[in-house]
Structure 1
Amino acid sequence: MIQAETLDLLEWYRLCQHLSTFAATKLGAIASRQLQLPTTKEESLTLLSQTQEVYQLEQRPNGRLSFEGITDIGNALERANIGGMLIGQELLSIATTLAGVRRLRRIIDQQEDCPVLNALVEQVRTYPDLEQEIYRCIEEDGTVADRASPQLREVRGQMKVVRERIYRRLQEIINKQGGAVQEAVITQRSDRFVIPVKAPQKDQIPGIIHDTSSTGATIYVEPQSVVEQGNKLRQFRRTEQIEEEIILRKLSEQVASLFDDLEYLLAVATTIDLATARARYSLWLEAHPPRFVNLEAGEQLTLRQLRHPLLVWQQQHEQGRAVIPINVQILAPIRVVAITGPNTGGKTVTLKTFGLAALMAKAGLFIPAKEPVEIPWFDQILADIGDEQSLQQSLSTFSGHIRRIVRILEALQIDNSSSLVLLDEVGAGTDPAEGSALAIALLKYLAENVTLSIATTHYGELKALKYQDSRFENASVEFDDQTISPTYRLLWGIPGRSNALTIAQRLGLDPEIVEDARSRVGGYTEDINQVIAGLEQQRKEQEQKAFEAKKLLQQTEKFYTEVSQKATSLQEREKDLKRTQEIEIQKALTNAKTEIAKVIRQLQQGTPTAQDAQKATQALNEISAQFLPNTSAKPQKTYIPKVGERVRIPSLGQTAEVLSVSEDTGNVSVKFGLMKMTINFTEIESLDGQKVEILVKAKATPVTPPPSQTEKPPTLIQTSKNTIDIRGSRVAEAEADLEKAIAQATQSGVLWVIHGKGTGKLRQGVHEFLGQHPQVKRFEIAPQNEGGSGVTIVYLR
């Protein structure tokens, strides 16, 4: 299939391998390596939205998505669905996956600008009851816990009693028959308790021989006196296995009953991990999101400073050489681009770079190019790149290319809605005259039937197509005549010129031979090369001027930034100065009031006389001169409304007529329509926008503290319904218990969580859980008389 061949030729699966290294889970890595391309533009837009939202989340301090605990439980779900029994470790993986997806969903739910991710997790159910039941029945090492059932607890208790009896009896035998015992230890063979006995003294300890050492010097004997107890222990062990199987099967059945929901949960987690891998890979590439354009509608394709993603990886991880970006800008009428230039000049790399960019945009990946990134969405991306020569099939280079081109044309006949065709060395491998004619015919056919085609060639005849058909464009890879090497830069609008004779002369070929060759090529070809060389020189001069202009612009921007910063600094200094002045005035007023109060107290201590009053007046004048601001300036005229005047009431959006004015109370009676009302001066203004400013006599007003900004917490009443005790639980178990308790305590508005002090690990885990819960308003450590650091009080929304 030509589409699959194209992916191989463009090394798409190598890019997918790089993408998989950014996945957080095994399922995400597998999905990345097997990345499927969407079949519709809408699917690509959805994938790009997912990538964009995760990309934005990753930039926030607390927005990084965590996939901790999420594992590949697909095989376990399938086996449970067909009636199989899951082992303890598989059940624990299901429980940790449920908890991990719940944490992941909580992070996404807290974001207000992630509609695509929110819609993705909206229908996910994490079943905390199943998770809690698994943790109750299964220990951390995967074994079934005693607490799983009363029967299991009872049989294990009986086993413990029998085992202790056996140990005591064997220890007695070892102590009495020490000479016959090879080593004073109790060991097991075939689930039976035995002691190592010297082979010559085996008759001194009669019993059942279960094993012999490699040398034959030691035999492992189960003494006859403990055989019956050993049989009992084996029966209990079988009963224990039956009880464990009952518990495991019951849990497996619960998992099977939720198969569809759990499978959907796993698919959503994989989708989010894949989106996260795309976002992190795009961030690493310093890539930008593409916008899909329509060339046929007159829009243009723009990819500035486009870099080959595999070469970027090679540069970063394999000490490869620096990646030279290319610029691609294709206007609406263009349907075919012919790229010419010398071998090893980068023509094939250009084709692959552009092809990978189209595939990345289609798959929901950002493109490693500068913004704006504008590229069409292609239904098909088809390529003929490289040499398909095969000795086994007796195919020449030309035959291999033709075979692949035939498959490309067949695919275009099936679906030709929007396609991109990439052809490397079109028409090569045969007679130049016939090859160039075939290449021209093929490119003209593609111009009629394909959205966009890009072809590399050595044939000079293809350079002239641009001047015969407006749908064609020329491009070339730049070549440095001084160093006799390509620069790998792509030049648009200029065809590549032949450099063979120049290179030959620079490399030392006899000048007579070179001149003879030039005369055989003909003056017309040489004239064309001279014209192309002139165009290249003009382009270099324009690029140098553009570089200088860019440098000047950067200097201007830097100067503008410095001026803006200085202006901002001056504004801040002015604000600070005003704040300082206000503080100083307040201090002066406070000191003045204190001094006045002293004078008043002095007058109140005895019978005031005229002389005392005169001294007090003098003291007040001194205080006024020292502390109060100078008010000798002429007072500004103030606006006072008059009866019959029309004023504006901004808060009501109305104009009204003044009925009466009271300067003592600062109120004014107004009428608008049929309504009359009395309002304060501060709520009106003149029709030309003047505000009322009344100078009233200063009155001694008591200084009252500002109202408290926090409400007094209500009286808390602790009951059994709003209290949960999780001491001795693990953090994962505690989260499931807290989820239930919060739902039940919502009406009371408060929840007491008793977690104990201990090492503080459980308290820390509880606080992290509460800090991310949407129903938790705040929480705090309880007072010392209510449990102190062993209890947390949670206030709910």
Structure 2
Amino acid sequence: MIQSEAIQAEALELLEWPRLGEQVAGFAGTTAGRALAAGLPLAPDLAMSSRLLAETTELLALDGLTEGGLSFQGVADLSRTLPLCAKGGIASADDLLAVATTLAAARRLRRQIDDPQLRPVTTALVEQLRTLPELEQRLRFCIEEGGRVADRASPALAELRRQLAAARADRRDRLNGLLRRFAPLLQDAVIAERNGRPVLAVKAGAASQVPGLVHDSSASGSTVFIEPQAVLPLGNRIRQLEGEEREAELAVLQELSGLVGEEADTLEQLQRILTALDYGVARARYGAWLGAVRPELEAEPTAPLLLEELRHPLLLWQHRHQGGQPVVPVSVRVGPELRVVAITGPNTGGKTVTLKSVGLAALMARAGLFLPCSGTPRLPWCSQVLADIGDEQSLQQNLSTFSGHIRRIARILAALPLGGVDPRGASLVLLDEVGAGTDPAEGTALAIALLRQLAERARLTIATTHFGELKALKYADPRFENASVAFDVDTLSPTYHLQWGIPGRSNALAIAARLGLESGVLERAQELLAPRGEGEVNHVIAGLENQRQRQQEAAEEAAALLARTELLHEELLQRWQQQKEQSAELQEQRRQQLERSIRDGQQEVRRIIRRLRQGRAVDTTALGETARRAGQRLKSLEQEHRPTPERREHRGWRPAVGDRVRVLSLGKAGEVLALSPDGRELSVRCGVMRLNLELAAIEGLNGEKPAPPEPAKAQVQIRSRRNPASRGPQVRTERNTVDVRGMRVHEAEAAVEEQLRAANGPLWVIHGIGTGKLKRGLREWLATVPYVERVSDAEQGDGGPGCSVIWPK
């Protein structure tokens, strides 16, 4: 167990975990929080990691919603004060005041966080806080801002300070009198201080003329500092009172320290909770700064590992703070069946960065940190992350690079379970340049044997290598996969992109050719490679890389074409919508023009009729003929321009008697008892209630929306059989319009009935929209009137829903 912990601690150092902790600590707000964040403790199990991730999520949201973010101002480090008080010691006034400010800050934070619905995890954490308001009140009562014990803390202390102030004032008055009295004998007309006592700067030759106690003399000897005899008793009295004041203050501090010591356990728990909250906020702010996302941890050790566009967090920090190169993301997709991934490619291509990025991702998820990825990262919870990265050469231990690697790999194997499945969680092994540092043939054999052994005992092993034989393991064992880092031969520089499924090439000959090595040497090297088949392998790899590049270009072209298609589709929809709106606007303009023409014609007819009635016309026959023609013209205009109702085919579900439906307003199911003749209303029994509902107020149990019924043909036939000559005008006029707005229902009924009995055609009733009570009351009454055929809403130009048209039989 000790060796396992040692090799895991060594892996943390190799992955620069402490450096990551320092970065997270920079986002903490308290000393204790920074210390905890700098250590970046790893959760012991999956449940703890999940809780830490939930804390990070909740605190990130709350920190963003709170103006200025969550503040830990006032929270102090009580790690030294609490043990001192618990043991009976006396804390300073500043330390005791820090306890009071910490209690106040804890109460404020608990009030901000407490919300079981939105923040269940952190709410459960702050529910354990006891903020001790009585202790805080006592501390603030006795200690003033700045750490001074208040006069009100003790009657004895208040009396001593009163006496002390009076004595000091008396001494000051006497000294001012002596200054005036001995002014000719003084070197300077100020009251100086020596050894905590007031003195006068007397000339050396006149020292004998000023009785008192000599405390000091100047460097030149020309000035003697004398405390006058007249104020010596007062000075002694003041010293005595100051001593008594200190004892009284100490008594107050001892009392307060005892109160803090009695609550030491509670305050220690409060300190732990506040530190955990500060650490959680630091994790949240660090994740927001990285642009990171929350990972999903799986309990199954063989769960897949999916990290899309993972970026190394330390390189991100370096790029943003030091202006380094942009970080190239890598994507890691490991299925449940994979156990070993061999990454090949040239040096400085990003292989080691990929190892460290994956290792840090597993550790960050375990510690409750978000990952700098895209999408939703998924990975198994890793109980162990073991690494062999870098040069282990040691002159003191007489170890070569190869020997150092072997010793570390031996410790890694000893830390892995023999059965292959660790009940604590998955194991991640990271090996850099496996088998390097010795004879290539032996190193290759050792690397193959080691990787096969790790495939049996670790969840995932990621190894970087230059050995070509390791590239072939994928084709003999499905647990192995190849990956490579791309290299631009034209610019002799790596691209840092990770390619899956394709082994990498060393590109040594291409680099040598670009650097000007003689062609004869290169040709000879190529001939030496051919017998071993390495030339053919590199040729195949180059072909695979070209094919991947072509596929990538084709995919990009397809994506661009799809984007253009979507833009075109959106543009067509917009144009169709604009055309539809323009057509509707044109129809509205024509309708309004028609209404204006009809109104003009109606006014002309009224004027003619008025002239006929008044008897002013010379030729009544001509005027009558004119009125008749105007009426016929109005009717023809109405017939020509009457809007034809849209014919819509309603196809869909329609309820029947006995069907089970859902009442939308109640959210409950009911049974259809009856349907109205026109199919627009139905009676539904819902539990003990019987409801009369419109068709739009229900839906099927599977969410089907009811289709409106077809218009009744019988009504159309009845209307077609009417004799138009027996009816009044089919357009709204002042005579066939009644305004009932502001009336009660019974008043409106009387007014409408009076007009309706004398109506010779449709009657327009203006009732307004309002709450709808007046309209509903009139409609219910009209349904019982035997000489009313039907009632409908008026056209939009005549009032729409705010006006009803009554068609008498």
CA distances 1:66-110 after superposition (whole Å, capped 9, x unpaired): 111112122111211111111111112111111112111111125
Name the counterpart of 1:509: 517
TM-score (norm: length of structure 2): 0.72
In 2 relative to 1, CA 407–171 (structure 1 residues): closer, same or farther, beyond 3 Å?
same
* Equivalence map 1:648-727=2 (5 Å): 699=740, 701=742
Name the counterpart of 1:139: 144
1:214 is displaced (CA, Å) by 2.8
Name the counterpart of 2:329: 325
Name the counterpart of 1:204: 209
Cα distance in 2 between the residues matched to 1:207 and 1:192: 12
1:550 is displaced (CA, Å) by 2.9
1:562 is displaced (CA, Å) by 7.1
1:201 is displaced (CA, Å) by 1.0
1:484 is displaced (CA, Å) by 2.1
In 2 relative to 1, CA 324–683 (structure 1 residues): closer, same or farther, beyond 3 Å?
closer
Contact 1:32/1:274 (<8 A) preserved: yes
In 2 relative to 1, CA 676–69 (structure 1 residues): closer, same or farther, beyond 3 Å?
closer
What secondary structure is seen at the aligned counterpart in 2 of 1:74?
Answer: coil
Name the counterpart of 1:167: 172
Letter matched to residue 485 of structure 1: S
Letter matched to residue 16 of structure 1: G
Name the counterpart of 1:186: 191
Name the counterpart of 2:48: 43
Letter matched to residue 509 of structure 2: L
In 2 relative to 1, CA 511–672 (structure 1 residues): closer, same or farther, beyond 3 Å?
closer
Name the counterpart of 1:4: 9
Instruction: Verify: 1:264 aligned to 2:269, yes or no.
Output: yes
In 2 relative to 1, CA 113–154 (structure 1 residues): closer, same or farther, beyond 3 Å?
same
Contact 1:208/1:223 (<8 A) preserved: yes
Letter matched to residue 558 of structure 2: A
Name the counterpart of 2:93: 88
Instruction: Verify: 1:429 aligned to 2:437, yes or no.
Output: yes
CA distances 1:4-25 after superposition (whole Å, capped 9, x unpaired): 1101111111111111111111
Cα distance in 1 between the residues matched to 2:584 and 2:201: 91
In 2 relative to 1, CA 403–568 (structure 1 residues): closer, same or farther, beyond 3 Å?
farther
What secondary structure is seen at the aligned counterpart in 2 of 1:478?
Answer: strand
Name the counterpart of 1:536: 545
Cα distance in 2 between the residues matched to 1:224 and 1:202: 13
* Equivalence map 1:723-734=2 (5 Å): none
* Equivalence map 1:232-243=2 (5 Å): 232-243=237-248
* Equivalence map 1:405-424=2 (5 Å): 405-413=409-417, 416-417=422-423, 418-424=426-432
Name the counterpart of 1:30: 35
Cα distance in 2 between the residues matched to 1:447 and 1:385: 19
Cα distance in 2 between the residues matched to 1:366 and 1:683: 48
* Equivalence map 1:357-372=2 (5 Å): 357-372=361-376
What secondary structure is seen at the aligned counterpart in 1 of 2:497?
Answer: strand
Letter matched to residue 195 of structure 1: L
Cα distance in 2 between the residues matched to 1:657 and 1:307: 66
1:192 is displaced (CA, Å) by 2.3
Q: Which has the larger radius of gyration?
A: 2
Cα distance in 2 between the residues matched to 1:221 and 1:36: 65
Letter matched to residue 322 of structure 1: P
What secondary structure is seen at the aligned counterpart in 2 of 1:105?
Answer: helix
Unpaired runs of at least 5, structure 1: 577-609, 612-629, 637-644, 659-667, 708-797
1:35 is displaced (CA, Å) by 1.4
Unpaired runs of at least 5, structure 2: 1-5, 586-612, 615-637, 646-656, 676-680, 699-705, 710-735, 745-767, 772-809
Name the counterpart of 1:218: 223
In 2 relative to 1, CA 633–483 (structure 1 residues): closer, same or farther, beyond 3 Å?
closer
CA distances 1:492-527 after superposition (whole Å, capped 9, x unpaired): 111112422222222222212211121122252211
Cα distance in 1 between the residues matched to 2:292 and 2:171: 71
Letter matched to residue 391 of structure 1: L
Structure 1 residue corresponding to 2:314, chosen from 310, 313, 317: 310
Contact 2:340/2:462 (<8 A) preserved: yes
In 2 relative to 1, CA 569–107 (structure 1 residues): closer, same or farther, beyond 3 Å?
farther
Letter matched to residue 40 of structure 1: D
Query: Relative to structure 2, which stretch is displaced further, 496-505 or 116-125?
Result: 496-505
Structure 2 residue corresponding to 1:75, chosen from 71, 77, 80: 80
Name the counterpart of 1:547: 556
Contact 1:293/1:301 (<8 A) preserved: no
Name the counterpart of 1:343: 347
What secondary structure is seen at the aligned counterpart in 2 of 1:332?
Answer: coil
Cα distance in 2 between the residues matched to 1:4 and 1:334: 26
Name the counterpart of 2:162: 157
Name the counterpart of 2:446: 438
Letter matched to residue 527 of structure 1: E
Structure 1 residue corresponding to 2:504, chosen from 492, 496, 502: 496
What secondary structure is seen at the aligned counterpart in 1 of 2:190?
Answer: coil
Letter matched to residue 52 of structure 1: T
Structure 2 residue corresponding to 1:375, chosen from 367, 376, 379: 379
Letter matched to residue 40 of structure 2: L
Cα distance in 1 between the residues matched to 2:498 and 2:579: 49
In 2 relative to 1, CA 483–237 (structure 1 residues): closer, same or farther, beyond 3 Å?
same
Structure 1 residue corresponding to 2:488, chosen from 467, 480, 504: 480
What secondary structure is seen at the aligned counterpart in 2 of 1:194?
Answer: strand
Instruction: Verify: 1:469 aligned to 2:477, yes or no.
Output: yes
In 2 relative to 1, CA 553–62 (structure 1 residues): closer, same or farther, beyond 3 Å?
farther
CA distances 1:395-422 after superposition (whole Å, capped 9, x unpaired): 1111010010111111114894421111
Contact 2:382/2:427 (<8 A) preserved: yes
Contact 2:301/2:380 (<8 A) preserved: no
Letter matched to residue 541 of structure 1: R
Letter matched to residue 431 of structure 1: D
Instruction: Verify: 1:394 aligned to 2:414, yes or no.
Output: no
Cα distance in 1 between the residues matched to 2:685 and 2:284: 61
* Equivalence map 1:704-783=2 (5 Å): none
What secondary structure is seen at the aligned counterpart in 2 of 1:382?
Answer: strand
Name the counterpart of 1:520: 528
In 2 relative to 1, CA 454–461 (structure 1 residues): closer, same or farther, beyond 3 Å?
same
1:433 is displaced (CA, Å) by 0.8
What secondary structure is seen at the aligned counterpart in 2 of 1:184?
Answer: strand
Cα distance in 2 between the residues matched to 1:490 and 1:33: 31
Instruction: Verify: 1:106 aligned to 2:111, yes or no.
Output: yes
Q: Over the residues paired in the alignment, what is the CA RMSD in angstroms?
A: 4.1
CA distances 1:569-609 after superposition (whole Å, capped 9, x unpaired): 99999999xxxxxxxxxxxxxxxxxxxxxxxxxxxxxxxxx
Name the counterpart of 2:280: 275
Contact 1:306/1:327 (<8 A) preserved: yes
Name the counterpart of 2:713: none
In 2 relative to 1, CA 44–684 (structure 1 residues): closer, same or farther, beyond 3 Å?
closer
What secondary structure is seen at the aligned counterpart in 1 of 2:394?
Answer: coil
Letter matched to residue 456 of structure 2: E
In 2 relative to 1, CA 568–110 (structure 1 residues): closer, same or farther, beyond 3 Å?
farther
Identical amino acids, percent of aligned pairs:
48
Contact 2:344/2:466 (<8 A) preserved: yes
Letter matched to residue 259 of structure 2: Q
1:194 is displaced (CA, Å) by 2.2
CA distances 1:24-53 after superposition (whole Å, capped 9, x unpaired): 112111111111111211111111111111
